[in-house]
Structure 1
Amino acid sequence: MTITLDRAYWLGLLLSVVLPVLVGLVTTRVTHPGVKAVLLLVLSGATGFLTEMAHPGPGWDAGTAAVLALVSFGTATLAHFGLWKPTGVSGAAQDRLITARRAG
């Protein structure tokens, strides 16, 4: 039995690993974690559906796109807590583009 994955699936998986950093770039440290989670979920959904569109197979399948979106969200969550947060990349990304407004 041979299992092969098309290039589109590999690119989708790679993008899923980078998504938490992208969320960090557009949020701040004071952004509510629920907002960050919803943003990650939306980006993961878009990744799953776009990955299925990029798949060179016969036609677009909504079921496969939904599974890819769930895999993308799971991969992004694991990458955030297992790779980006412990190494400090998440915090650095949140300090990079958007800064919190100072009160007063």
Structure 2
Amino acid sequence: MISTWSEWKRYPRAGRGENLEAPISPGIYEVRIAGSGALYSFGAVDNVAHALALLPVGSRTWFGRRDPKRMPDLEYRTCATSTKADAKAAAEHMIGRRETYMSGAA
């Protein structure tokens, strides 16, 4: 079973004590650049919260720390599912819809 998408939320920035709000279950996540709406990352995973927490954002300095000035302003949303198979099926359906839209818009 597939639930509905959450509202868009600001992706937490390192060093600010902000937290991710995401299900600890299978589902889909989508991350976009806030200013342009360009897709940054998308996936169907076993644990949405874990996948978002591991998302590589920003660039690392020579000492291994993230450079907050180079990190884009990101937003994310999530959609919980019952199983990873449901998440994959929903993701494939979304990708198919985007491809159809883009081919018609070209």
TM-score of the pair, normalised by structure 1: 0.31
Q: Which has the higher helix share?
A: 1
Q: Is the radius of gyration larger for structure 1 or structure 2?
A: 1
Q: Which has the higher strand share?
A: 2
